[in-house]
């Protein structure tokens, strides 16, 4: 049986007050947090994966409340678990409902490397999140698409999703804008064609352009041209 109390004691022992203040300022409504840097949390997750990680997950999902760091560790454990992908995805689906801020969402999505080898399956599964009423479930879908589906065989569909999906909620809208800026770097002509239509919600349209213009991988000339598409 995994000793969950010992984990919380270790979190307390590794807390950094200064980093907590900094991180709390970046992640509004973070709830309980200790102030522990991501590399340390990834190390803790790796150690859990060498022990009874199934017991850890069982206890995590049975608890009524969790710290920010516990959520991150849980996400890293799920991502790192050496199981069949169909089994992993069941854990992913269980965890997504616990995502309540951008930091947990983005770190979890970036860690799910096995998605690369299961693209058709994941693409089908994402539909439920693309049309979710929860902005963080939609951001989860956006981040998975951005991390793993910006490929020639998917880019047209992905851009269509970003153009049509509900962007309500600041963090969902920001996620779409971020993703579109990455789309532009990888597929500039296709992404510019979407921006040129000026059919995106104004916030998403203008924030996408802003983030593209902040990129060091976009020419000065292209950055100037994009200003014409602002709403």
Distance CA 126, CA 141 (A): 6
Question: For the whole model, what pTM was predicted?
Answer: 0.95
Band (pLDDT 50/70/90 cuts) for residue 140 is very high
What is residue 28's predicted lDDT score, i.e. its pLDDT?
Answer: 85
End-to-end CA distance of the chain: 57
Per-residue pLDDT of 179-211, as tens digits, reads 999 999 999 999 999 999 999 999 999 999 999
Given the structure tokens 């069949």, which residue do they identify?
84
- 162 φ/ψ angles, rounded to the nearest 5 degrees: -60, -35
Domains of the chain: 1-112 (no CATH), 118-231 (1.25.40)
Per-residue pLDDT of 52-80, as tens digits, reads 999 999 999 999 999 999 999 999 999 99
């Amino acid at each position: 049986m995994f000793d969950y109390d010992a984990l919380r004691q270790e979190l307390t022992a590794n807390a950094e007050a200064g980093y907590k203040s900094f991180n709390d300022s970046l992640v509004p409504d973070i709830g309980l947090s200790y102030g522990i840097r991501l590399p340390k949390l990834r190390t803790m997750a790796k150690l859990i994966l060498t022990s009874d990680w199934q017991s850890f997950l069982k206890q995590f999902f049975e608890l009524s409340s969790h710290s920010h760091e516990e959520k991150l560790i849980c996400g890293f454990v799920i991502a790192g678990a050496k199981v069949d992908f169909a089994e992993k995805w069941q854990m992913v689906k269980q965890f997504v409902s616990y995502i309540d801020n951008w930091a947990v969402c983005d770190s979890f999505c970036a860690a799910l490397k096995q998605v690369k080898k299961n693209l058709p399956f994941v693409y089908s599964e994402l539909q439920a999140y693309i049309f979710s009423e929860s902005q963080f479930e939609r951001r989860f879908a956006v981040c998975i698409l951005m991390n793993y589906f910006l490929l020639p065989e998917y880019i047209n569909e992905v851009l269509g999703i970003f153009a049509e999906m509900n962007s309500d909620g600041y963090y969902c809208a920001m996620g779409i804008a971020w993703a579109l800026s990455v789309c532009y770097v990888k597929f500039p002509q296709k992404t510019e064609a979407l921006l040129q239509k000026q059919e995106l919600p104004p916030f998403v349209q203008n924030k996408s352009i802003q983030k593209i213009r902040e990129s060091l991988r976009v020419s000065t000339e292209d950055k100037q041209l994009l200003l014409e598409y602002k709403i």
